[in-house]
Amino acid sequence: NAGVMQNPRHLVRRRGQEARLRCSPMKGHSHVYWYRQLPEEGLKFMVYLQKENIIDESGMPKERFSAEFPKEGPSILRIQQVVRGDSAAYFCASSLQRANTGELFFGEGSRLTVL
Amino acid sequence: GDSVTQMEGPVTLSEEAFLTINCTYTATGYPSLFWYVQYPGEGLQLLLKATKADDKGSNKGFEATYRKETTSFHLEKGSVQVSDSAVYFCALPFSGGGADGLTFGKGTHLIIQP
């Protein structure tokens, strides 16, 4: 049973370009979470999705960031017009149940570098 | 809002030393509490959890006891190994109004020297 798969593992973008990060949750998991980890900081919650629905996006910047989890295919975190401050590791996690009752399974992360 | 505070790192110990990483929390009610571990270059993985007061979670020689009197969930291990070198995160759920997820502490970087 494959774990949470994220790609790309490393992504380099120049300022102003778009970054698109993909996450395939574990089989059978319908809850997907995106977190951002900045150097020397902890993980910051960004968004919680279920299939075709954004449930909570309170941690995601209102400008330039968007997320989706379509009926078919992986969840996508999209960052438009990237800036240097977007450089971070972005982690996706999935769960079988809601996070307050179950375990989150994390992918290995996508490390974005903005030049 | 609900939050966790954990001791700043890095924590550097010699192999076979006793480990304590402090974690205190602020929460409404008595949520489940978690410790996650992140090895270099990897994602987080659950280390242990406790679902109610006085519960003790344990795994791989690590233990943590859910203490509601002191709102703490300190991580301990009696004899650490070099392979325990990693970043450790204390976490608790946030929820309500449709929100859901885990709130993590800033992480404690543990370095074990041979």
Cβ contact, residue pair A55, B100, below 8 Å: yes
State residue A102's pLDDT score. Answer: 61
Dihedral angle over CA of A90, B1, A25, B110, nearest 10: 60
Is B99 within 8 Å of B77 (Cβ atoms)?
no
User: Where do we find the tokens 């679902």?
Assistant: B51
State residue A82's pLDDT score. Answer: 97
User: Chain B residues within 8 A (CB-CB) of chain A?
Assistant: 31-32, 41-46, 49, 89, 93-95, 98-107
Q: Which of B7, B30, B42, B44 to mutate to test the interface with A (most CBs of A within 10 A)?
A: B44
Q: Chain B: residue nearest A5 by CA?
A: B43
Average pLDDT, rounded, for chain A: 91
Cβ contact, residue pair B43, A109, below 8 Å: yes
B97, pLDDT greater than 60: no
A1, pLDDT greater than 70: no
Cβ–Cβ contact A43 with B under 8 A: yes
Residues with Cβ < 8 Å from A42, sequence gap 6 or more?
B89, B104, B105, B106, B107
Q: pLDDT, tens digit, for every residue of A51-94? A: 889 999 989 999 999 999 999 899 999 999 999 999 999 999 99
Dihedral angle over CA of A33, A68, A78, A34, nearest 10: 0
Q: pLDDT, tens digit, for every residue of A34-54? A: 999 987 778 899 999 998 899
Q: Which helix (H) or strand (E) covers residue B56, if one does?
A: strand B56-59
Q: Which helix (H) or strand (E) covers residue B65, if one does?
A: strand B62-65
Q: Round to whole Å and give the CA distance between B49 and A106.
A: 16
Q: pLDDT, tens digit, for every residue of B49-60? A: 999 899 999 999
Candidates A98, A103, A109; nearest CB to B46: A103
Chain B residue numbers touching A94 (CB-CB < 8 A): none
State residue A103's pLDDT score. Answer: 81
Q: What is the DSSP string of B12-43?
A: EEETT--EEE-EEEE-SS---EEEEEE-TTS-
